[in-house]
Amino acid sequence: MYDENTVYVIGHGKTSCDNAITSRFNIFFIGFVVDTRDDRIVDLECTATIDITSRFVKDMFSGATLGRYDENLIETVKRRYFGSSQKAIITAYKDAVKKYQLVKEEYYL
């Protein structure tokens, strides 16, 4: 399904205690499939209690890069996503960027 040049990286962030995601999963995760040739996000999925949330998050991040922290992408999340998991999405993204950078350093440089 995915090209051999892709890797899978998960970022996580805490959601508020009254969030349905916390009740169901305890923490918010975004799993990113990234093409190591250009650092592009080719697919992703997140822990969400309703499908539209996962689809919306995927839409915001698809085609972006995970190679470095992108402030414009964070601003997009702040401008477009008004669910209670907004901060958790941003935190999960930042965590995934850090993990992806480590993967690139260890295996692809």
109 part of a folded domain: no
51 part of a folded domain: yes
Give the DSSP letter string of 48-88: -SSHHHHHHHHHHHTT-B-SS--HHHHHHHHHH--STTHHH
Q: What Cα–Cα distance (Å) separates residue 96 from each residue in 2, 8, 18, 21?
A: 19, 10, 24, 19
- H or E segment at 45? strand 40-46
Cβ contact 11:85 at 8 Å: no
pLDDT of residue 20: 47
Q: Which of 45-49, 53-57, 78-82 has the lowest mean pLDDT?
A: 45-49
CATH code of the domain in which 25 resides:
3.30.390
DSSP, collapsed to helix, strand or coil, labels residue 105 as helix
Work out the pLDDT band at 85, boundaries 50, 70, 90. Answer: confident
How many domains are contained in the chain?
A: 1
Rg (alpha carbons) of the chain, rounded to whole number: 14
71 part of a folded domain: yes
Say yes or no to pLDDT of 84 above 90: no
1 part of a folded domain: no
53 part of a folded domain: yes
Residue 55 and residue 44: Cα distance in Å, rounded? 9
Domain that holds residue 24: 6-104
pLDDT digits (tens, 9 = 90+) for 86-99: 999 999 999 999 99
User: Mean per-residue pLDDT for 8-16?
Assistant: 84
List the Cα angle 94/100/106 in 5-degree steps. 145
Longest dimension (CA), the chain: 42
